[in-house]
């Protein structure tokens, strides 16, 4: 599979009546051939921030390869739209929260391994955490332009909501990574 073929599948899903479901159907179809996705995306390191992770961007769809290093935990954050992760390798624990008027309510947790799919609704926030000693690498699909959408993040210590700001995000991520676990909320 070439990267343009992967992009074409999701770009088409973005035009469907229910883009989230159409993208989910594509992910389900692709999970049986993860090696093909890995080869097509070998040229994307997945590190160095969103700008270097994104390999397709449009007003209704963003595709990224994300390489999440061992020992790293995110602060709670949302995506400003629906999001789905197909894990390609490694192990990633996700703690999911419902957001209500800017407040977090812890809902569930799930650990993704190779081939697992995690769908998140627009009102879902999450904490992702790389388990084990190798990076967690995933194909991320977002239902909008992730570089443009208004997004939120929460201080992992005080749970105060903030507009996404990458400098502050990094500070929160370092605090989150030192904590014993995801915030209870
Ligand atoms: Fe996320």
Q: How many CB atoms lie within 10 A of CB 2?
A: 10
Say how many domains are in the chain: 1
Instruction: Give the residue from 46, 45, 69 showing the smallest Cα distance to 174.
Output: 69
- Ligand 1 centroid–CA 19 distance in Å is 19
Residue 185, pLDDT score = 81
Residue 105, pLDDT score = 96
pLDDT cut 90: percent of the chain above it:
97
Residue 51, pLDDT score = 87
CATH number reported for the structural domain that contains residue 145 in this entry? 2.60.120.10
Dump pLDDT digits (tens) for 89-131.
999 999 999 999 999 999 999 999 999 999 999 999 999 999 9
| 117 part of a folded domain | yes
Tell me which residue range forms the domain holding 38: 3-177
H or E, element range at 106: strand 103-112
* Res. 35 pLDDT band, cuts 50 70 90: very high
| 184 part of a folded domain | no
- Ligand 1 centroid–CA 94 distance in Å is 9
Residue 79, pLDDT score = 96
- Ligand 1 centroid–CA 175 distance in Å is 17
């Amino acid at each position: 599979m070439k990267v343009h073929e992967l992009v074409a599948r999701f770009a088409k899903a973005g035009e469907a009546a229910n883009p989230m479901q159409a993208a989910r159907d594509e992910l389900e179809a692709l999970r049986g051939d993860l090696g093909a996705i890995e080869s097509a995306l070998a040229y994307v390191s997945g590190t160095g921030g969103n700008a270097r992770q994104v390999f397709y961007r449009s007003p209704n769809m963003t595709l990224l390869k994300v390489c999440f290093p061992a020992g790293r935990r995110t602060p709670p954050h949302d995506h400003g739209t629906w999001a789905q992760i197909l894990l390609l390798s490694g192990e990633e624990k996700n703690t999911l929260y419902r957001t209500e008027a800017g407040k977090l309510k812890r809902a569930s947790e799930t650990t993704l391994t190779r081939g697992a799919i995690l769908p998140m609704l627009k009102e879902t926030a999450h904490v992702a955490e790389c388990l084990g000693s190798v990076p967690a690498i995933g194909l991320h699909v977002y239902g909008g332009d992730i570089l443009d959408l208004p997004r939120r993040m929460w201080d992992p210590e005080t749970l105060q909501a903030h507009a996404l700001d990458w400098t502050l995000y990094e500070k929160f991520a370092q605090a989150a990574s030192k904590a014993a676990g995801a915030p209870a909320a």
